[in-house]
Structure 1
């Protein structure tokens, strides 16, 4: 079966990118191949991870490019050049427009560090999600992998995994536990599933 070409879009440390690269090595992710990493910031450590893994990487910074249109045009060009068929948002902090997501129906997935519909949508990203969970006093949180559409965190849910909140948790401690117990497991599983579907679709075309 021909592997589905995957782009991983990142903004920071790239721990979810690493989970995907490791999944490729260990045979969890077999239906797809990461052919491109796109970073929204040139200082993202994820770029180093891509380099170490021998994966081509480009930087598309909205700030440097000056507008949403130019930013998305640069992303689209990079995706086209590498023949990308599936986009995985792995800690990608820039919002993509409905115009962009509309061109990739059921081809963009994102991992979010809560059990959607809790603590999601505009303003809920990174540590802010875990701060909100602790402020509300929830006993269970987790992570969600979902399709991306024009509504922030509003696409169809693919996978979810619950993680317990423990007494004395700080946002940082909780963030780490959610990553280790949920995000790093769910994202490779969901990526494999969608890459497989895309592959089958091509075979049947």
Structure 2
């Protein structure tokens, strides 16, 4: 019997470099018996959608942007939007949901609906646990290094909870900031670390769920 594939849904908002790392890893020893079954973006111009569509065979994609949704559905709220996101995601029957540069804070509505289905949600964040939560973490870490407040920064993948970037870390990697670095140098080194971390963390969570390939 063929191995049972793990189903991955990826949420994105931008260029999709972390998505590309997952695409390249699916079905390899880095992420065995795994398949991305849906890429959902909250921005229709996100290049990550093109990355998904360029795969052979193409990965299914959908777009659901907050403001167009609210405009098309008078009386609906942000919570209604999050509920709609959860319906799209759950319809793909995922084993894991990976936020790979998803720039929208998901509410209790979304988290409650996926928790009821016992589906783990993980997020990649370009900082160490407890440091530089939220937006612009790379710039803030670089500035803090310049002021002598920190010696390095890092990348983590964490479980998504209601508090932004405060979920239990799945995997953490330190990233050096060098004295001669420009912001662009540091940013590139950090992103290269992200590409490995997001794949490894996804594999860890899938393995921890106890869903083993069929014999």
The question of a shared fold, defined as TM-score above 0.5 by the shorter chain, is answered with yes
Alpha carbons of 1:131 and 1:7: their partners in 2 closer, same or farther (altered >3 Å)?
same
The residue correspondences of 1:1-205 to structure 2 (distance < 5 A) are: 1-53=3-55, 54-66=58-70, 67-105=77-115, 107-120=120-133, 124-125=134-135, 128-137=136-145, 138-180=150-192, 182-200=193-211
Q: Which protein has the bigger helix share?
A: 1
Q: In terms of Rg, which structure is larger?
A: 2
Partner SS, residue 103 of structure 1: helix
Q: Which runs of 5+ in 2 are unaligned?
A: 71-76
Calculate the TM-score normalised by the size of structure 1.
0.88
Q: What secondary structure sits across from 2:114 in the alignment? A: coil
Unaligned runs of 5+ in 1: none
Deviation at 1:142, TM superposition (A): 1.0
Distance 1:25 1:84 in 2: 16
Against the structure 1 CA distance between its residues 55 and 94, is the aligned structure 2 distance closer, same or farther, given a 3 Å change threshold?
Answer: same
User: What is the RMSD of the two structures over their aligned residues, measured on CA atoms?
Assistant: 1.9
- For residue 40 of structure 1, report the CA deviation from its aligned partner: 0.8
Count of residues paired in the alignment: 197
